[in-house]
Amino acid sequence: MPDEIKNMQGPVSSTDGPPHKEDAGTRAAEEMSAGVEILLAALRRQARERLSSVVAVLGEASGKVVFREGLIAAVTTSAAPGPESLLLRSGRISDEEWATVFAAAAPSGQLATALVERRLLGSAGMQVVTRLAAMDALFALASTQITSVSAKPAGPGFLSPVLPAEPGIKVEWAIRETTRRLARASHWRVELGLEIQIRPRLASPPPRAATGTAQADLLARVNGRRTCRDIAFVVGRGLFPVMTDLASLTGDGWIVLPPPQGQSPAAPESGCGETSGLPAHGDRVRAEITATADDDNFRERRYDLTVGSSLPRRDSHRHRGRDFPAYRQIG
């Protein structure tokens, strides 16, 4: 078997591929959050104008999307493992091998070439890892609260990603795939209570002994303290594939999912406006968003956003009259 095919096997295997038709209409039936729509509009603009730029995303999980002539070259965020974590935590490359190659090749922008030349990763394996990391990071960003999206050209002093996706990822495909993944995540959240920051724990007693290696490896990391994100970093796999397996394990009775930390079930709203002695969790914010004039897909819209929070709603006398920051317009 050729090295580049061998390198595609194992813990970092990709779940990328054409969007599945069974999920195509699920997310479309829901209204995306304002932040996600603004992010997708920014991505489409970079592709339409074939820009080399950086789209910065601020919010619950900040990150950036790097463009090269209208194609996505890399997506980075602290909410999902990057290529380095996928390669090192999975054991595909040792720390010593990585440190040696990185020191020799990263400053000149030849890290990907050096990894292939030293037979630490095949060319096909490199494509799998970089595309998986980019798409996983985009899913993670779109799954969290976004407060600001801005774009700026990749001008002088811009540092290119050390392991870009080659060839770059087409934006429309990336949006379709991200939309599909958001639909799956929405289903997990509603049906199972599975979210990125949930802390799964093992069921007691377990339904049976684990048989698959990947299944046993994942269950060994579930301890009631690690979030889905934490587990993805520990095992060196993408966030979305890990959540897919955790959803399956939850459905099969292997693990149980407690409510998110700091959250309590939403109290029913009172028609007369009276409140009980218990705090109501989550802020309901009305934000106005005006899209850029050159984007045909957007008009001025008004959204009701429910922002999850462990703090009481900001409707007390201390907060009356204060303005909540609206999302920033695309730069």
Q: pLDDT by residue (tens digit) across 94-123? A: 999 999 999 999 888 889 999 999 999 898
- Pair 95, 223 in one domain: no
The residues of the chain scoring below 50 in pLDDT are: 1-29, 263-331
- Pair 140, 207 in one domain: no
- Pair 171, 26 in one domain: yes
Greatest CA separation found in the chain?
A: 71
pTM of the entire predicted model? 0.70
Residue 158 within a domain: yes
- Pair 173, 37 in one domain: yes
- Pair 63, 91 in one domain: yes
Distance linking the first and last C-alpha atoms of the chain? 48
Q: H-helix or E-strand containing 167? A: none
Residue 297 has phi, psi (to 5 degrees) of -85, -5
- Pair 60, 97 in one domain: yes
Count of structural domains, the chain: 2
Share of the chain above pLDDT 70, in %: 67
pLDDT of residue 150: 93
Residue 234 within a domain: yes
- The Cα 63–Cα 320 span in angstroms is 32
Residue 37 within a domain: yes
3-state helix, strand, coil in the chain (%, to 5): 35, 15, 45
- Pair 168, 230 in one domain: no
For residue 76, the cross-strand partners are 64
Let me know the angle formed at the C-alpha of 15 by 14 and 16, rounded to the nearest 5 degrees.
90
pLDDT of residue 128: 92
- Pair 150, 209 in one domain: no
- Pair 37, 152 in one domain: yes
Domain boundary among the residues 221, 241, 256 is at: 256
Residue 274 within a domain: no
- The Cα 104–Cα 304 span in angstroms is 51
Residue 243 within a domain: yes
- Pair 129, 33 in one domain: yes
pLDDT of residue 116: 92
- Pair 131, 205 in one domain: no
Residue 280 within a domain: no
- The Cα 68–Cα 113 span in angstroms is 18
Residue 56 has phi, psi (to 5 degrees) of -90, 135
Residue of 295, 281, 291, 282 lying closest to 327 (CA atoms): 291
Residue range of the domain that includes 235: 201-256
